[in-house]
Structure 1
Amino acid sequence: MDLHAFFEIHAPRLDTPQALGDCLRQMVQAGLDQLPMPGSGQTLERWQRLGRVASQDLGLCKLYEGHTDALATLHELGAPRPAPGSTWGLWAAEPPDARVDVHLADGQAILTGRKAWCSGAAVVSHGLLTARDEQGAVQLVAVDMHQPHISVSSHGWEAVGMRATASVEVTFDQAPATCIGRPGDYLQRPGFWHGAIGIAACWHAAASRLGSYLQQHCSQREEPHAQAHLGAVNAALYSASCVLRECARRVDENPEADAQLLARQARAHIEACAEQVIQHVGRALGAGPYCQNPHFARLSADLPVYLRQSHAERDLQALGKLVALQPDTWWPL
């Protein structure tokens, strides 16, 4: 069964964390989480399949992308294959007021502290998260979420967009875990930036789905202003798709290369394109679909929140700093 067939058969209301978790489990049981690995020669197919889920529901995509990125990370770092049927969250945010520490006790990794922004924490079976070891280095750890030493917050998530993802805090109180790779491996591996581009592919797919509503509208009636907006949407999405295809080609061509510059460029461009699409589609179609089309309304509420996985000007500054260090950058064809 492919993703298209799955969504033809399964069309649940994905408006609660439990509904997202149940759907993710069904997808895992159907083998739909077995994507080509980044850099395997089929990176574009991987991103296309992520995009198919994003165009269906961004809340589900948030959990699905995290699960499939966790599988790719475990594979890249040489961890044992996850248990059949398990579902994974990948949580790497480290705000100043929420930190998890890891220490070894008789050879067993033990977690203490709070982890923020844990999408789907209440409905996945396992978590893959960053923690700080006794030297302050970033250590990736895997943890079984079904244990008494872990509590998932039931409050603090007041979002309208991406509401069902319930990206809450998780508290670890001497929770046993398993270290994955060595300290620093999570951020230093090539796949970290491959996964960052994969998220941008989800942004692109969701924006494309919004654009399809405008294309359908313009195919049914002659409205010059709407057509002008559609022209702008087409230009933005075409350029974004070209960027993603080039990124996939370069990742497959040299999967061990440092892809930070490539990823930051792609994410900046696709974020800008998605924001253009949101503006043009809304101005062209007016209030109607926001109020009367449930899929359009949810996608329009979800996408701006999902885009904030970008850190806006902080990410642009990091990109500019990288570009400034390049020799003779003048963007030739």
Structure 2
Amino acid sequence: MNATQDARPPHAVRISSSPEDLAGLGPLLGAAEAGVGDVPALLAVAKDLGEAAPKPGSGRTAFLWEILASVTAVDVAAGRILEPHLDAAAILAQAAAGAEAANSVPFDGTWGVFAAEAPGLTLDAKETGGAVVLQGSKPWCSIAAQLDHAVLTAHVGGGRAAFAVDLHAAGVSFADPLWKSRGLREIPSGTVHFDAVPAVPLGGTGWYYRRPGFAWGGMGVAACWLGGAVAVARSYTDALKTAADGGRDPDQLALAHLGEIDRTLSGLLHYLARTAARIDAGELSGPGAWSEALRVRGSVAAAVDRIQALVGQNLGPGPLAFDEPYAKRMADLSLYVRQHHAMRDDAQLGALTFKGDHPW
């Protein structure tokens, strides 16, 4: 173990914070490990962290991403639960502080963020009697029936806007998601129906997507993916060491793959450290923020796919069949990283690059 790791608790992922700062994550990571597979317990962990976690752009963005990466390194599903809860806290704070602020929503209970769309499903927001109500259906609402509140997007005249909604309100109903996935099995994503449900506007039309926090939140998701990849890499390293202890040293191919994994992860950790510092310095608060988010997300997603492939090839079917934590992590991470839209996101980045939005 090198000197920079001495003060870290198990599972901690370092981006740029001191090992001593990361040592404070011990109780959080212990609680996440104890709650693996238990959604209410993991939601309680998220709720306890609540406002204590730093907001992106507040000067400790790297530490926020270390929290997300480290919890995901414990268990991918735990990170998948924590990330939207903390993102909702950031969105509410950004809305309250913004120029378009008209409402302040207390951050209590547990939260999700639902912004996906699907063919044949529409959620509309309409003003009725001086209040806004939601009518329609929202797809891909992960564990919605177990949450208290959500930030979601709905259609309004001229575009889409964000709203805060109480998921216990009359008129909210949850469709059976018929979740068949082998990854993130405890986090089913289904459709939520809204029938004249009161909602609180957050910003104006288009604000949700225009704010730099949209890009920052997207990079926070990538930090989760990276934490999962770090855990996969650690599983591989541990397996090689166990084999060596038994008298079977790794061959050149196994070491070459470990070297590729090391330089990939080391490069990405440095990249996230630099990007977090730029966010905190105010350098990514304009139109270029989304281009950087696409770079970060694409780079991390490609690394996840590559690392999973290398480790899977080297370790073979055994741990997928008989090692529950490893098999769960591989299945969970494979589904989670598919939130990245691969070549479609690269095409979007290419269009921005073509217009001159690039650092080179």
Structure 1: give runs of 5+ residues left out of the alignment.
Answer: none
The correspondence for 2:40, drawn from 13, 21, 26, is 21
Does the 8 A contact of 2:114 with 2:152 survive in 1? Answer: yes
- Over 3 Å counting, the alpha-carbon distance change for 1:11 and 1:56 in structure 2 is closer
**1:214-253 Cα shifts (integer Å, max 9, x gaps):** 1122334111122122112112111211221121111111
- Number of equivalenced pairs: 324
Aligned match of 2:84: 66
Distance 1:159 1:77, change over 3 A: same
Bigger mean CA deviation after superposition, 67-76 or 19-28: 19-28
2:299 to 269, 278, 288: 269
Structure 2 partner of 1:184 = 206
Q: Secondary structure at the match of 1:31?
A: helix
Is the Cα contact below 8 Å between 2:147 and 2:167 reproduced in 1?
Answer: yes
How far apart are the structure 2 equivalents of 1:59 and 1:330?
Answer: 35
TM-score w.r.t. structure 1 length? 0.92
What aligned pairs does 1:48-197 form with structure 2 within 5 A after superposition?
48-78=66-96, 79-84=103-108, 86-133=109-156, 135-197=157-219
Question: Cα offset for 1:275?
Answer: 0.7
CA distance in 1, matches of 2:194, 2:88: 20
SS at match of 2:178: coil
Letter aligned with residue 101 of structure 1: D
Structure 1 stretches of 4+ moved >6 Å: none
**For residues 217-296 of structure 1, what are the structure 2 equivalents within 5 Å?**
217-220=239-242, 221=244, 222-224=249-251, 225-254=253-282, 255-258=284-287, 259-296=289-326
- Change beyond 3 A, Cα 1:11–1:244: closer
The one-letter amino acid of 1:131's match is A
Q: Distance in 2 between matches of 1:185 and 1:83?
A: 19
Match of 1:306 in 2: 336
Instruction: Select which of 35, 40, 48 maps to 2:53.
Output: 35
- Per-residue CA deviation, residues 39-58 of structure 1 (Å, 9 max, x unaligned), is 11111001000111111222
Q: Distance in 1 between matches of 2:337 and 2:32?
A: 27
Q: Percent identity?
A: 32
Deviations 1:97-141 (A, max 9, x none): 2220000111111111110110120111001100011x1421111
Tell me by how many angstroms 1:33 deviates.
5.3
- Deviation of 1:81 (Å): 4.8
Alpha-carbon distance between aligned partners in 2 of 1:21 and 1:3, rounded to the nearest angstrom = 20
Does the 8 Å contact 1:92/1:130 carry over to 2? Answer: yes
Deviation at 1:9, TM superposition (A): 4.9
Q: So what's the TM-score if we normalise by structure 2? A: 0.85
Write the distance in 2 (CA, Å) between the matches of 1:241 and 1:88: 28
Segment drifting more, 238-247 vs 203-212: 238-247
Structure 1: distance between partners of 2:257 and 2:192: 43
RMSD of the alignment, in Å? Answer: 1.9
1:124 partner letter: L
**Are 1:3 and 1:32, in contact at CA under 8 Å, matched by a contact in 2?**
no
Contact persistence 1:55–1:205 (CA under 8 A): yes
Question: Residue 243 of structure 1 aligns to which amino acid in structure 2?
Answer: Y
Q: Is the 8 A contact 2:105 2:164 kept in 1?
A: no
Q: Could you tell me how far 1:317 is from its partner in structure 2?
A: 0.3
C-alpha distance in 2 between matches for 1:73 and 1:187? 11
Contact 2:141 2:192 survives alignment (8 Å): yes
What residue in structure 1 maps to residue 348 of structure 2?
318
Amino acid at match of 1:256: S
Instruction: State the shift of 1:3 in Å.
Output: 4.1
Structure 2 residues without counterparts, runs of 5 or longer: 1-22, 97-102
Q: Give the conservation status (yes or no) of the 8 Å contact 1:114–1:170.
A: yes
Question: Are 2:230 and 1:212 aligned?
Answer: no
Q: Is contact 2:154–2:161 with CA below 8 Å preserved after alignment?
A: yes
The aligned amino acid for 2:303 is: C
CA drift of 1:20 comes to 1.4
Structure 1 residues 83 and 247 mapped into 2: Cα distance closer, same or farther (>3 Å)? closer
- Aligned partners of 1:300 and 1:5: how far apart in 2? 25
Q: How far off its partner does 1:176 sit? A: 1.3
Instruction: Decide whether aligned partners of structure 1 residues 312 and 9 sit closer, same or farther in structure 2, where only a CA change above 3 A counts.
Output: closer
Q: What is the deviation of 1:304?
A: 1.2
